[in-house]
Amino acid sequence: MSPNSSVKTFSQNGLNPQSSDLQGRASEQPCIGQECWSNLNCYGLYSSKNLSGWYLSFYSIDPTADPRWQDFVERHPDSSIFHTPGWLQALARTYAYRPVAYTTSPGGKEIRSGQTFCHIDSWVTGRRLVSLPFSDHTALLLESQNDLQEMGSFLQEKVDRKACKYVEIRPLAALSAGADPFAGSKLFYYHRLSLKRDLETLFRSFHPSCVQRKVRRAEREKLDYTEGRSEKLVQQFYRLLLHSRRRYGLPPQPISWFRNLVACLGPDLKIRLASRNGSPICAIITLTHKNVMVYKYGCSDPKQHKLGGMALLFWKTIQDAKSNGFDELDMGRTDCDEPGLIAFKEHWGATRSLLTYWRYPVLVPMTSSDTWQLKMARKVFGVVPVPTLATAGRFLYRHVG
């Protein structure tokens, strides 16, 4: 984007900035004094002027309240569970982030192009705009390369005018050379498993010892399998998560996050739990959107790994996905320096690709997420008591999204 491009913001006189009457509408009078975009509660119209002298308007809407956003997400071929109002509502309820979507479609018109973000306003880590926090990826739902360039100019102005510290986007597809002002900031691997083959062929494609043998071991052990969204399952999952996160030197997400996901996503979320003699040994959380099932969270008791419980849960997930007509299992992102987790996903036959997070401005060279600060923190979190770890998670996650 050119530094000579400009953005002007307009508001509706006499209306509550958060009212539905304002969404997608604008008066002819510009704001006086402080620009509206610096008010994180402002929904309205933004116009970006490029070097050619023409304007492309962006309308700021609440994607959790405007029914057009839900319709758009259902129609768009590249949308995911992370674009949905339910996911955004869970982020807002748990962490007090403010979801916003920018679209080129005015109020009352069908949305054809847009992208959703969360405003994060933290006294610890600063104010920023992220698409989207705690989401492995958020594909760009923009209609054209021109929309991307103009939105980039608009977002650049937000940063340059000090409305936020930085902007981050997490597209699945790599950005082209014309994607200024964004530059790569973090690298991950991303795995997905095609489910288009029949179950028998799929099973034979899994690693013989690391997957097939473990599934059969779990069946011989007669492990109990439970799925659902009950409060009991949430608590069982969370107890396993506390110990898993401590093992990796990381604080757990607050339990309110999982309760809000259950409440906001409803039947699009399942907790899957394996137990032995009534004692939970491992659990995962899966999400669904259109023809894709998503593996999002997992945890286990390391003393019971030899029983094959995690392999059983994934096999049950794949069987469930096939029986319900899903074409793909999204196995999520992985830090590039986690060879064990990378190998686990690839033993199932998942294909690997690079996933890049893009940011403006970029202050450091592009790296994986495991910085020296995180490595130091992991050493500390790996030895603190579990209750202390849970308390740390309740405080920290609000600031690190």
What type of residue is 264?
Answer: C
Handedness of CA 243, 248, 254, 255 (dihedral sign): negative
Measured distance CA(60)–CA(132) in Å, rounded: 16
| End-to-end Cα separation, the chain, in angstroms | 26
**What is the reported pLDDT for 178?**
55
**What is the reported pLDDT for 241?**
95
Please give the C-alpha separations between residue 98 and each of 42, 78, 188, 359, 383, in angstroms, as whole numbers: 11, 23, 26, 19, 34
Secondary-structure breakdown of the chain: helix, strand, coil percentages, each rounded to the nearest 5: 35, 25, 35
Domains and CATH numbers, the chain: 6-181 (3.40.630), 191-357+365-392 (3.40.630.30)
- Strand 126-131 to strand 167-169: parallel, antiparallel, or no bridges (unpaired)? parallel
Handedness of CA 25, 27, 28, 30 (dihedral sign): negative
| Residue ranges of the chain with per-residue pLDDT less than 70 | 1-56, 177-179, 363-384, 386
DSSP lists the bridge partners of residue 389 as none
Measured distance CA(179)–CA(159) in Å, rounded: 16
Q: What is the pLDDT of residues 111-168, one digit of tens each?
A: 999 999 999 998 888 899 999 999 999 999 998 888 888 888 888 888 888 888 999 9
What type of residue is 118?
Answer: C
**What is the reported pLDDT for 375?**
58
Q: Could you give the count of Cα atoms lying within 13 Å of 275 in the half-sphere of its Cβ?
A: 13
Of the candidates 87, 56, 94, 47, which has an alpha carbon nearest to the alpha carbon of residue 69?
A: 87
Handedness of CA 28, 30, 32, 38 (dihedral sign): positive
Contact 88, 46 (CB under 8 A): no
**What is the reported pLDDT for 160?**
86
**What is the reported pLDDT for 177?**
60
Which run of H or E residues covers position 355? Answer: strand 351-360
